Amino acid sequence: MTTRGATHAAGPKGPAEAMNHPADGWITPDGRKIGGTLMEMQNITLRFGGVTAIEDISFDIREGEIRAIIGPNGAGKSSMLNVISGFYVPQQGEILFHGQKRPPMRPYEVARQGIARTFQNIALFKGMSTLDNMMTGRMTLMQTGMASQAIWWGKAQREESAHREAVEKIIDFLEIQSIRKTPVGRLPYGLQKRVELGRALAAEPKLLLLDEPMAGMNVEEKEDMSRFILDVNDEFGTTIALIEHDMGVVMDLSDRVVVMDYGKKIGDGTPEEVRNNKEVIDAYLGVAHD
């Protein structure tokens, strides 16, 4: 695993100062370019009845970065991801995508905007092959209608070839050629996770949301997955927001980390900054809440 230790902007900082990265981007220690703001969450609050899942949280996601959201169980991480993907509509707050305010949207509309995701519990079509599952990832990019696809002639046929080609490139990228035609229900867990990543990549997302991509994996599978996440970011320039419990993975992979606890943001900054943040340490070591 490559380590992306943060050497720039060092020094202990509270959550308030953590966002003072240059507005037009910066270069990471390992030479990748981080651009301007891709998505900005402004004062998001999400409630389920009387329970406040997310309380007044603001942070941004920069173009080309790997942004992690961490926190103890029940901190509201998955809810946050669901807000980004449009599955939940927050009661308060704004989401700015490409600098524009995003009206409340259905998840498929969000997907069309170039946001793809994977799920904490794998959500693949178990009876379908790897290839077919990944082809469903191209749905939002298909132009021809259902009727002409059913007849499969002319434009629909050409379109399918083009989509198949794009999917094949991802299959090659993720090194899953050998399971191309295997029903995903028969695959081991680690591979299913990889197929799910493949399906998200097939949508050619600008922003890729990964909900616990390493959950339940052994060390070797984790290493493989980390490699793929870094490669996706590097080769396709995809911006990635991920939730992860494995701290080693998070610290190695991400450029910046948001830390949540009980629905509140308690830290935001480079892995180094977050690691030295007292509130974060308390949250993880279990200091009693008042």
Partner 1 sequence: MATEHPPQGDLFSIPALLQRNARRHGASPAYREKEFGIWQEWNWIETAEEIRAMALGFLALGLERGDYLAIIGRNRPMHYWAMVAAQMCGAIPVPLYQDANAEEMAYVLEHCGARFVVCGDQEQVDKVIEVQDHVHCIEQVMYTDKRGMRKYDHTQLNWLHDIQAEGRAAHQRLEDELDARTAELSYDSVCVMLYTSGTTGKPKGVVLSNRNIIETARHSSEFDRLVHTDDVLAYLPMAWVGDFIFSIGQAYWTGFCVNCPEGPDTMMTDLREIGPTYYFAPPRIFETQLTSVMIRMEDAGKLKKRLFDHFMAIARRVGPDILDGKPVSGKDRLLYRVGHILIYGPLKNTLGFSRVRVGYTAGEAIGPEIFDFYRSLGINLKQLYGQTEASVFITQQPDGEVRSDTVGVPSPGVEVKIGENGEVYYRGPGTFVEYYKNPESTADTKDPEGWVATGDAGFFEEGTGHLRIIDRAKDVGKMADGSLYAPKYIENKLKFYPDILEAVVFGAGREMCTAFINIDLSAVGNWAERNNIAYASYQELSQHPRVIETIQAHVEEVNRSVAEDPMLSGCQVHRFLVLHKELDADDGELTRTRKVRRKIIEEKYADLIAALYDGSSSIYTETEVTYEDGRKGKITATLDIRDAATGEPRHNRMAAE
Choices 103-111, 175-183, 268-276, 279-287; region in contact with partner 1 by CB under 8 A:
175-183
Between 171 and 259, CB nearer to partner 1: 171
Q: Cα separations (Å) of 225 from 78, 85, 221, 246, 249?
A: 20, 22, 6, 12, 10
216 belongs to the binding site for partner 1 (CB under 8 A) = no
Residue 231 interacting with partner 1 (CB under 8 A): yes
First to last CA, the chain: 39
β-strand partners of 208: 116, 240
Please pick, from the candidates 160, 168, 252, 282, the single residue that binds partner 1 as defined by CB under 8 A: 168
241 and 67 in contact (C-beta within 8 Å)? yes
Q: Does 173 bind partner 1 (CB under 8 A)?
A: yes
SS3 117: strand
Alpha-carbon distance of 159 to 142, in angstroms, equals 8
Indicate which single residue of 11, 16, 31, 286 sits in contact with partner 1 (rule: CB under 8 A): 31
How near is the Cβ of 166 to partner 1 at its closest, in Å? 10
| Among 150, 165, 288, 290, interactor with partner 1 by CB under 8 A | 165
Please give the residues from 60 up to 89 whose contact with partner 1 meets the rule CB under 8 A.
none
- Which whole-number Å values give the CA distances from 251 to 119, 171, 282, in the listed order? 21, 28, 18
Token pair belonging to 263: 């629905």
Stretch that binds partner 1, among 76-84, 85-93, 196-204, 230-238 (CB under 8 A): 230-238
Give the binding range for partner 1 (CB under 8 A) out of 45-53, 172-180, 201-209, 246-254: 172-180
| 252/185 Cα distance (integer angstroms) | 31
| 3-state SS, residue 131 | helix
Residue whose token pair is 């991400």? 254
β-strands 51-62, 239-243 pairing = unpaired
Rule CB under 8 A: say whether 290 interacts with partner 1: no
How many whole angstroms separate alpha carbon 254 and alpha carbon 241?
Answer: 9
Contact status: 178 vs partner 1 (CB under 8 A) = yes
List the x/- string, 124-153, binding to partner 1 by CB under 8 A: -------x----------------------
Q: Which stretches of the chain bind partner 1, using CB under 8 A? A: 30-31, 131, 164-165, 168-169, 171-173, 175, 177-178, 180-181, 231, 234-235
